[in-house]
Amino acid sequence: MERCIQIKKRIRTQAAVAAIAVLAVCLPVSGCSVQGNLEDAYSFQERTPQNDLSSEEGSRAKAFASDLCVVEDESLFSDNSISSEAAALFSIDDSSVLFSKNAFETLYPASITKVMTALIAIKYGNLSDQVTVTDSAVITEQGATLCNIKPGDRLTLEQLLYGLMLPSGNDAGAAIAQHMAGSDEAFSQMMNQEAKRLGATGTHFVNAHGLNSADHYTTAYDLYLIFNEALKYEKFRDVIKTTSYYAEYENSAGEKVSQTWKGGNWYMTGERDTPSGLTVFGGKTGTTNAAGYCLIMGSQDNNGKEYISVVLKADSRPGLYENMTNLIHKIVD
């Protein structure tokens, strides 16, 4: 049986700082499948972080990390109410860590991958571009979520962004990748380059949607870095706060096609109550058999302070929201 990689506690802080230091030196010049066994589903080649920093690199890393959360000692956050494989809670405003469990363990992200896809589309794409859907957007994997676009359909990149994030359309992810980079592989290179730029060194993407692959993985901490970057863009915030989107476009015959795409975050759809004193302003769910049930999201307290919370590999959808509720309760308790 393939084994999970556990990044040892004693190197976690150094690994994060080392990644940021490398980034600071360089600055001047990543779906739904229901197949396979859920247990012991990970197979990653072990990677040893480089922990030795020169004094100059260390000072640059400290400066670069001044507005980022740094996990120092997870033993401070023991909590039996958090049963998922990994979970973390970060304050955007004061860069504090309110909770962390296995934040540096490499895990499958499922459709949380699409946060990076959306970031690339918004940051480097032109949302008014007209995109013609190609055969590469056809997803046949059993259980995969789709926004039901077809080859020959003509949509804007902005419409595809909503099709990507609300119904979690794997086909929209493939269409975005093809339009922006010519192939899923080339787009994945863009995703990995962006991950490195953000210091997300425990991440490797091989597709734009999150359908399972042994070489497609990340960590809870890296997802915080990616989501934190995405929140800097108003368009990303607009998309993730939307619960329903009406899209009208043309098919290959020039006929009008319309769809209404809906989001699946239970806090935003009213299927789960948000703790008193908090408002969930958006996020992204993800589920595959190997990844379990996952969710990253942004919340705001009554004072306007914002937080990023992430739960990875919960054992069920109700269990995912139970874990997330227990996690974000720490903001107001």
For residue 3, pLDDT beyond 90: no
- Enter the tokens of residue 124: 């480097």
Residue 66's pLDDT is what? 66
Cβ-Cβ contacts under 8 Å for 257 (sequence gap 6 or more): 153, 248, 249, 250, 251
Active site residues: 111, 114, 168
- How do the residues of the chain divide into helix, strand and coil, expressed in percent and rounded to 5? 40, 20, 45
Bigger pLDDT: 113 or 15? 113
**330: helix, strand or coil:** helix
State the residue for tokens 């994997």: 141
- Residues 276-283, mean pLDDT to the nearest whole number: 98
Confidence band of 6 (pLDDT split at 50, 70, 90): very low
User: For the chain, where are the E strands, in sequence order?
Assistant: 86-91, 97-101, 130-132, 154-156, 244-250, 256-262, 278-288, 292-301, 306-314
Confidence band of 143 (pLDDT split at 50, 70, 90): confident
Give the whole-number percent of the chain exceeding pLDDT 70.
Answer: 80
Cβ-Cβ contacts under 8 Å for 255 (sequence gap 6 or more): none
pLDDT tens figures, 80-132:
999 999 999 999 999 999 999 999 999 999 999 999 999 999 999 999 999 99
pLDDT tens figures, 239-250:
999 999 999 999
Residue 168's pLDDT is what? 97
pTM of the model: 0.82
Please give the distance of CA 149 from its chain centroid, rounded to a whole number: 23
pLDDT tens figures, 251-276:
999 999 999 999 999 999 999 999 99
CB 235 within 8 Å of CB 156: no
